[in-house]
Amino acid sequence: MTARRQERNGLRLGLAVIAALGGGLAPPGLDLTALAATSERVVVDRYTGLAIGGFDPVAFFTDARPVRGVSEFEVSHDGVIWRFANPSNRAFFLADPDVYSPRFGGYDPVGVTRGVVRAGTARLWLVIGERLYLFGHEDTRAAFAADPARYLREATRRWAALKEMLAQ
């Protein structure tokens, strides 16, 4: 296949995907919350502007599961819009956002250890050492869970430099 034909076929595929997503025909299993901006210091959904896909960050601690926030209990903090399931979760977050915000801005900590910012998703998460971590894939979550100290040591070391490359 010629290079020109490959480009044309790639363009067709790209247009088909855009049309399918725009028409609400996303393939089963595609997590649209994973489509996030990777130029921000906190993972923000590029379509809604919401941190961590609109999930309530406090609910991971209080309910031990991802819970969608609602616009009624929304707050802007450090230029990012966060949603909460109820007013008490919003109050907990505002009292100590560093505790409830996902560590490494919601980027996959295994990617951070490799020097790569890869958006995590609220559907793949762990709370370790009273901090929330989001992951981009099941395998990175499993690797992290097997040896969190190792990954945290390296991710913490690399995060400062990666964070400086990301827009505020």
Question: Per-residue pLDDT tens for 68-101?
Answer: 999 999 999 988 899 999 999 999 999 999 999 9
Average pLDDT taken over every residue of the chain: 81
Q: What are the sequence ranges of the domains in the chain?
A: 1-30, 32-165
pTM of the model: 0.75
Dihedral sign from CA coordinates of 95, 99, 103, 104: positive
Mean pLDDT across 60-73: 97
Mean pLDDT across 113-125: 94
Cβ contacts of 57 within 8 Å, gap of 6 or more: 51, 82, 84, 93, 100, 101, 102, 132
Find residue 135's DSSP bridge partners: 121
